[in-house]
Structure 1
Amino acid sequence: MPRVSTLSDTSTWLPLDGLAPGFDANKAPVSGDLDGREFVLRDDDGPVFTRDGAEPAETFLVDDGLYYVQLHPGDAREAVSLFLDVRDGRALVVTTRIGEAGTPRVTQEFRPATIDGIDVRGEPMAPSTALIGRRVLWVYSEQHAYEHLYLSPHWYTWQCLAGPERGLADTDENTVYRVRPGIHVFTWREKVIPCASVTVADHRDARRLRSHGVLFGLDASGEKTTHFTFGAHGRLLSTTVHPGHLDPAES
């Protein structure tokens, strides 16, 4: 695949389907623990989502009793990511939608919920500022590596260190939810390439971070959808601590 020669010319940037080959090398094994199980998720307003276990999906074990389920959208322009804590009865539903226009073109909705039939304990899955100030290296394969700098509740910066996008960098929208202590759902929405990502990352060991996720958006034609899951190994490179009155987490 040819290297991007003019880094500032975003018209030459790699489309989402061009990134896919080999990007899933560090994906975790799919888990069958939830096969055949039905889950009814609800919030204070009523049912949020029901999973009957028959939909095409991939399930990944994140931690003891904590699962990430990525439903396959087929040709639909909407993809659903589920985070199910079957130990604590908590859940988070993230819906990613490809719009007709706008910046970003791909948007996301977040619905914390509880799981019917499981005693609920602990804190709800909720927005978090815990990652702000961290600079993290993520390795997706022997050929793909990126660093993330988590800037604020709304923004993060990424830079490609290895792979077909090497040398590219940008600052895009992000949203972070805490699902358990040290484990966070991290999502982003790109403004140049029409795509968005949903990931869940275990930050408890700074030298051995682990993430699982999905990218969803449009291919080079701008008409067909691209959807693929992946995984990454990471490590904390540094942490910036701002003076209290200038702390982006307080903005």
Structure 2
Amino acid sequence: MSTTSDWITVGALAEGFAPEAFILPNLAELAGRRFDLHFENGWHIEHRFDAEQLHWHAADGHSTGSAPYRATSVRPGIYLIDFIKHEGGQAWSISLVLDTLTQSFTAVIGSLPSAEETREGLYSRALAGKALTSVEARFLHGSLDQPWQPGACPHAPSSELVGVRNRYRYSPTEVYEHIYLNPDYYSWQCLQGVEKGLCDTDRCHYYKITDALYLFVWREKIVPTLGLVMIDLQQHRSDGKIFGYASDGFDTLSNFPVSSYCDLLNRTEYGDA
């Protein structure tokens, strides 16, 4: 057994995932379309798509810009949009689940820690009552092309994955398993690939989008990483991205797509325990 650390950067992970990856194609069907996002918190942000860029403009002027985007769909009528927003001297990971079947959406706004924050030890964070991970994620909901009303977005936190043990094949060489422990944590293990033998238990979030379709987000604490995937248990597919620093510096980002074929290994029923 190796006694050395085999942890790698997110940039090196991206390189390992890339060869023959089972990536879903970037959809072209959103080009020329516009969506008005009415947030529960009162924001109203117009989003316009062309073939390569997403353009957004907030009605109150608090945010305007454009960025390259990736658009995918594991279930007809439900799109995952992902891009990086550079604003206020910081890079933000923005992921939108646009649900045209219910005219609603969920937005995930993520950010990475500063260099100083990464130097704070886990023990110090624990004693201070802080989350062990310094990666942040904020979840917002709203309605598409119509004013927000309470209950307009059916996407909601879910415990339906708790007890599930899934295997994810991202490429012929990259295979992982996830064990969904409880509503706040999951364990992962690399069975095959550049992280083979590595495992951990990390903070996570689950949202049910519709029957057998979930938004799963995790925030790693050792190598600062934000992961986000849509998991379709009907089609046995997942699609999303991994976001982090490309190297051991803090000036270059890696935001790379991950898609998999997934299968259920087993399910644990805890009963009243």
* TM, length-normalised to structure 1: 0.86
How does 1:1-251 map onto structure 2 within 5 Å? 5-6=2-3, 9=5, 12-24=6-18, 25-47=21-43, 49-53=45-49, 54-55=53-54, 56-73=68-85, 76-100=90-114, 101=117, 103-117=132-146, 124-204=154-234, 208-223=235-250, 224-244=252-272, 246=273
CA–CA distance in 2 between the matches of 1:51 and 1:81?
13
Query: How has the CA–CA distance of structure 1 residues 228 and 48 changed in structure 2, closer, same or farther, with 3 Å as cutoff?
Result: farther
Deviation at 1:44, TM superposition (A): 3.4
Question: Unaligned 5+ residue runs, structure 2?
Answer: 55-67, 119-131
Q: Deviations over 1:116-135 (max 9, x none)?
A: 14999986111111100000
**How many residues were matched structurally?**
236
Deviation at 1:76, TM superposition (A): 4.7
- Report percent identity of matched pairs: 31
After superposition, the CA RMSD in angstroms is 2.3
Which portions of structure 1, spanning 4 or more consecutive aligned residues, are displaced by more than 4 angstroms? 73-76, 117-123
Question: Unaligned 5+ residue runs, structure 1?
Answer: 247-251
Deviation at 1:29, TM superposition (A): 1.1
Question: Which stretch of structure 1 is more off in the superposition, 86-95 or 140-149?
Answer: 86-95
Deviation at 1:73, TM superposition (A): 4.2
Q: Deviations over 1:18-52 (max 9, x none)?
A: 11125141111111121121212123332254322
* TM, length-normalised to structure 2: 0.80
Question: Which stretch of structure 1 is more off in the superposition, 15-24 or 125-134?
Answer: 15-24
CA–CA distance in 1 between the matches of 2:213 and 2:147?
21
Amino acid at match of 1:97: S
